[in-house]
Structure 1
Amino acid sequence: MLIILIGSVFAYIYYLKEKKEQLDAIKRGFCPKCHQKSIELTDQRSGGCSGPKILSFECMECGYANSFSVQGGGGCGI
């Protein structure tokens, strides 16, 4: 049982690392799959004043699509 738990933790850590690398590539303007400059923001949703933003991106060349949850720097100003 301990081996399964440790394996699950490592798999989740690897998943988060891959998502971060994909988001970093998108922030540089490149598709993480085909490495072309054809990635576009298709949707942006906010979780409220202090909640995370959900950003959805899609590549117009290869069809790659993914969504990322990022902490929003904005807020509900007074």
Structure 2
Amino acid sequence: MLIILLGSVFVYIYYLKDKKEQLDAIKRGFCPKCHQKSIELTDQRSGGCSGPKILSYECVECGYANSFAVENNGSCG
């Protein structure tokens, strides 16, 4: 049981690290899959003043699509 728990924790940590690397590539303007400058923001949703923003990106070259929850830096005021 302990091995399964530890395995799950490591898989989740790897997943979060991979998502962060993908978002970093997108912030630089590149698709994380095909490495072309063809990534576009397709949707942006907000959870309110204190909730995270959900950003959806899609690559027009290879079809890569993913969504990311990012901090909403106090857009209410």
TM-score by length of 2: 0.98
Deviation at 1:76, TM superposition (A): 1.4
Give the AA of the match of 1:24: D
Say how many residue pairs are matched: 77
RMSD: 0.6
What's 1:54 paired with? 54
What's 2:44 paired with? 44
What's 2:64 paired with? 64
What's 1:21 paired with? 21
Deviations 1:56-75 (A, max 9, x none): 00000000000000001132
SS at match of 1:54: strand
Give the AA of the match of 2:67: S
Q: Which runs of 4+ in 1 moved over 6 A?
A: none
Structure 1: unaligned runs, 5 residues or longer: none
Structure 2: unaligned runs, 5 residues or longer: none
SS at match of 2:55: strand
TM-score by length of 1: 0.97
Deviation at 1:43, TM superposition (A): 0.1
Q: Identity over the aligned pairs, expressed in percent? A: 87
Does 2:11 align with 1:11?
yes
